[in-house]
Amino acid sequence: MAGIQLNRVSKHYGNVAVMNDLSLDIAQGEFLVFLGPSGCGKSTLLRMMAGLEPVTSGSITIAGKDVTDLPPGQRGVAMVFQHYALYPHMSVYDNMAFGMRNIGLAEAEISTRITDAARMLELEPLLQRKPGQLSGGQRQRVAIGRSIVKNPSAFLFDEPLSNLDAALRTRTRVELARLHQRLQSTMVFVTHDQVEAMTLATRIVVMNKGKIEQIGAPMDIYRRPATRFVAGFIGQPAMNFLDTERAAPQDGRLCLRLAHGSVFQTALRDADVPAGALTLGIRAEFITLDTQGELPGRVDVVERLGDRTLAHVSLADGSTVVAEAHRDSGVAPGEAVALRIDSARLHVFDAAGLAHHAPQ
């Protein structure tokens, strides 16, 4: 079987369990992104795939071959790190050639591979420069090129854009997407940046505390988060959460009452949602400033982002929500406003943090 398979992989450091019985299939040619906060286990998982960390139990298969106990050089993968790890005394050409020379590849083949990779990454004018003569983005492209020339079964990226400034991160992100389209290779990418995940991934694996919270296409995860953690982690700004009380159902549908008294009918069957505390979730784009809105509040902060304007609004119960105003809105801090919530776009989370969605 092509691609990468993780079968009940566990990782322990002494008595501390980082992850237990994690299984995952990564398809050949897929761009899969591990996304989560620091300490969730995503980089550890990538390092186990690369052979840089031993597996406590379970197995890893790459391109149909069990690599669980193989050293990194025999796994057929290439890893790109957050730090470029280039040899400062070597030219770009020699940095890219180093690994191939170590395994005795013929110089003619080395030259062909480097020429092809340099053309793909627009590095041809830089091949005779030293790393110290390159920008951060150029150095990162050299590190990627050093991986490409190995003709690996899969590329593993460990937060490769973290050291770049904002503009350069955007450009390099686009370059990576183009590279994947050209090579059609399996790529596994680790990041804590949801923008990178949403724009690059075929599928996202959202991780938290060593466990997989949800796996899915970027917009599927955005629209139908499986847990409150995912809902709060994906999206800019984060989803708004409002405490609610269960109200009497209407036509068998779940109804929720907010602290100020407004009742919202959801698309969920009341009988399908467990008893206990419930939290209502709503994204900023589905809360709008409207003089006829049902939710009163006062503006604390206004964010003018060019294409959209966000208003941070304090409610009577002391909670704060982020609402979307018209991009040219003149709303100002201290202003009393009313908010309208799109009841068709509500998310409901139970006491365990699990999401409940109406059938599509």
Contacts of residue 260, defined as CB under 8 A and 6 or more positions apart, other chains included, come to: 295, 296, 315, 316, 317
**The pairing of beta strand 4-13 with beta strand 16-26:** antiparallel
Q: Among 14-18, 19-23, 65-69, 89-93, which is the least confidently predicted range? A: 14-18
The answer to whether residue 1 scores a pLDDT higher than 70 is no
**What would the pLDDT profile of 96-112 be if each residue is shown by its tens digit?**
999 889 888 899 999 99
State the average pLDDT over residues 262-285: 90
**What would the pLDDT profile of 327-357 be if each residue is shown by its tens digit?**
888 899 999 999 998 888 889 999 999 999 8
Mean residue pLDDT across the chain:
90
In the chain the domains, ranked by start, together with CATH numbers, are 4-230 (3.40.50.300), 240-356 (2.40.50.140)
Q: Which two tokens stand for residue 96?
A: 């890219």
Q: Among 43-47, 133-137, 214-218, 351-355, which is the least confidently predicted range? A: 133-137
State the average pLDDT over residues 36-63: 93
State the average pLDDT over residues 259-284: 89
The answer to whether residue 295 scores a pLDDT higher than 60 is yes
Confirm if 190 and 42 have CB atoms less than 8 A apart: yes
Separate counts of helices (H) and strands (E) for the chain: 8, 21
How does DSSP classify residue 350? Answer: -
State the average pLDDT over residues 208-217: 95
Residue 67's pLDDT is 95
* Plot region of 157 (φ>0 → left; ψ -120 to 50 → alpha; else → beta): beta
State the average pLDDT over residues 209-237: 95
Confirm if 196 and 173 have CB atoms less than 8 A apart: yes
Query: Among 241, 244, 229, which Cα is nearest to 276's?
Result: 244
The answer to whether residue 323 scores a pLDDT higher than 90 is yes
* Edge-first strand listing for the sheet containing 240-250: 263-269, 253-257, 240-250, 278-282, 347-349, 355-356
Nearest-5° Cα angle at 204, 323 to 32: 145
Instruction: Give the DSSP per-residue string, 104-139.
Output: T--HHHHHHHHHHHHHHTT-GGGTTS-GGGS-HHHH
Whole-prediction pTM: 0.88
The answer to whether residue 280 scores a pLDDT higher than 80 is yes
State the average pLDDT over residues 38-46: 92
Confirm if 276 and 312 have CB atoms less than 8 A apart: no
Distance of CA 252 to the CA centre of its chain: 37
Residue 59's pLDDT is 96
The answer to whether residue 52 scores a pLDDT higher than 80 is yes
State the average pLDDT over residues 30-34: 96
When computed from its CA atoms, the radius of gyration of the chain, rounded to whole angstroms, is 25
